Amino acid sequence: MSFFNSQLFKDVQSQHIFSDCKTFADATARVDWQSACIQYEQIAPLNKTQLRDFVDAHFITTPLLTMKGAANTTSVKGYINSLWSGLRREADIPKANSLLALKHSYIVPGGRFQEIYYWDSYFTALGLIDADKSDVVEDMLQNFIDLINDYGCIPNGNRSYYLSRSQPPILALMVDLLWQHTHSKTHNLAWLKLCVEALRKEHAFWMQGADTLSDAQTSVKRVVTMPCGGVLNRYWDDEAAPRAESLREDLALASGFSDDKKPEFYRNIRAACESGWDFSSRWLADSNLLSSIQTTDIVPIDLNCLLYNLENQLSECFKLLGNEQQSQTYSNYAVKRKSLINQYLWSNEKRFFVDYNHKLSKPSAILSAAASTALFVNLASQQQAELVANVLSEQFLKAGGIVTTVVDTPQQWDSPNGWAPLQWFAVKGLCNYGIEQLATRIMKNWLTMVEQDFIENKCLLEKYNVCTPQQKASGGEYQVQQGFGWTNGVTSRFYMLTKD
C-alpha cells in the first residue's frame, strides 16, 4: 500500500488538518511513513486535535517558499536577478517523502511549488540564460534526461504522486536553447547524442499505443485516431483516482457522480493537470462547471504543435548525427502531423487554430491563446499567421498582455488572467513571421503591468489579471503564488528584446 492510499493520509486530508492538501502530500516522515501508518491504524480514529498532534510527532512539513529579506526589491530587474539563488535547489538527498531525488541542481517556481516542474523549466531557462546561468539550465536538462531514463517519461514534477502524467513536451525546446547558446559553439555531438536518445524516448511515451488503434478502439492513452485515420495526441493520466495533492477538492467534486462515473472524472481532472492548464474552459463541456470536465475528449492545438516541433527536431538532430534513415522517419511524422493539424485544428470560420473534440467530431468553440503555438513552432503559413495575429490583436490583447482565453470563468486559465508562458509563445511566434509591431505591444503591455504591480507588491507573481491589471488575479484551487520561475524568465527575456 502506498502512503497516499493509507487511512492516515485520507484522514489528514479529509479532516482539513492543512488548508492545502499539497502540504501533507509533500511532508517528510521523521522515521518512515510505513511505521507512521501502522501506528496510526492501531489508535485510529482520532479527533482533529489528536490527529494534528500525531502528524506533528511523525512528520515534518515545509512552509511555503518566501523571498522576504533575500530579494532585491528596488526594481523588477534587480528582483529577478536576486531571486535565482532563492529559487535554486542543489542536488537532492533522498528522504522519507514524496520527492523524487534529483542528482543535479534545479530551479523551483516558488510558493507552494517547491519541486521542479516540467514545462515551467523552459520558460525559467530563458531568464537563466539571460543571467549567464546556463550551467543551471544544463543541470535541469540533465535531471529531465535522468527522469525519462528512470521512469519512461518526464513527470509533471519530481514527486512520486506525479509519476502517472507528464506535461507539455518542452524538452526539445530546452535542448535547442542550450544548443544555440552553448553546444553548437563547441560542436558537442556527444552531448547531442545523449539528448536525442531522451527526445526519442519522450516521443515514444506520447505515441504509446498508437500501433494498437483500430476501428473498435479509436483512442488509447495519449493517442487518438482522427476521422481520416491519421493519429493526433491528447492529454491523459495513467491513473483514474483522486489527486494526492488535491484529494479534498477531487472528492468533493466527485461526490455528485455515481461510482461508475467517478474514475472518468478523476482521469479528466488529472489529464488537465498534464496540460499545465489546470483548469480552463478548454476542457469543460460547460465553461462554468468544473464537474463537466472532458479533457480526454479534446485534441489540443498546443500539445500537437509541440509534438510537431519534437518530431522536426529529432529529424534535424539525427541528420547532424549522420543517421539519414531516422532523420527521414521523424520528418515524415512531422509532415503527417502538420497536415492533420491543418485539417482538424485550423478553423476557416474563426480564422484561428482551435482544439478539436474527437468524441463529437467537431472543433471546440473556445478560442485560447494556445493557438499561438502554431506560430511559435513555425507550423502556420504566412497567411494563417496574419489571421491569427488579427484575432490576437482584436480579442486577446489587453492592458497587461495576452489573455488566456476570451471566456470569463472561475478557472485560473481563462479570462481575465494572463500567464507568462503564453506571452512568450505569442511574442516569439509573431516574430517568426515578421509581425513585430504586435509582438512589441504585447511585451510592452506585459512589462508595464508587471512593473506597476511590483511597485505595490514588491514581487513577481505566478499569473496576472491582464484585463484589469489593478486587480489581483484569482480563480483556481489555490492563492496566487509569488516567486515566480516562469514569470521571471519571460519578463527577463522581454527586457532583453525591448532594451533598444
Residues known to be catalytic? 278, 462
Query: Cis bond leading into 45, ω under 30°?
Result: yes
Q: Is 132 left (phi over 0), alpha (psi -120 to 50) or beta?
A: left
Q: DSSP letter at 295?
A: G
β-strands 417-418, 464-465: how paired? antiparallel
Distance, CA of 185 to CA of 298 (rounded, Å):
41
- Could you give phi then psi for residue 359, rounded to 5 degrees? -75, -35
- Asked if 197 and 323 touch (Cβ cutoff 8 Å), the reply is no
How many CB atoms neighbour CB 456 within 10 A?
A: 9
The amino acid sitting at 124 is: T
Half-sphere exposure of 446 (CA within 13 A, CB side): 35
Site of grid cell 476542457: 283
Query: Cis bond leading into 279, ω under 30°?
Result: yes
- Could you give phi then psi for residue 68, rounded to 5 degrees? -60, 135
Distance, CA of 174 to CA of 178 (rounded, Å):
6
Characterize 472-482 residue by residue with b for buried, 16 or more Cβ atoms within 10 angstroms of its Cβ, and e for exposed.
Answer: ebebbbbebbb
Distances (CA, A) of 297 to 54, 251, 253, 303, 492: 43, 22, 19, 14, 36
Runs of H (alpha helix) within 152-246 = 171-178, 184-186, 189-206
Q: DSSP letter at 225?
A: E
**DSSP percent split of the chain into helix, strand, coil, nearest 5:** 55, 10, 35
Distance, CA of 108 to CA of 95 (rounded, Å):
18
Distance, CA of 495 to CA of 500 (rounded, Å):
9
Site of grid cell 539563488: 85
Distance, CA of 118 to CA of 155 (rounded, Å):
7
Query: Cis bond leading into 54, ω under 30°?
Result: no
Distance, CA of 91 to CA of 57 (rounded, Å):
27
Distance, CA of 170 to CA of 12 (rounded, Å):
35
The amino acid sitting at 106 is: Y
- Asked if 185 and 321 touch (Cβ cutoff 8 Å), the reply is no
- Asked if 233 and 310 touch (Cβ cutoff 8 Å), the reply is no
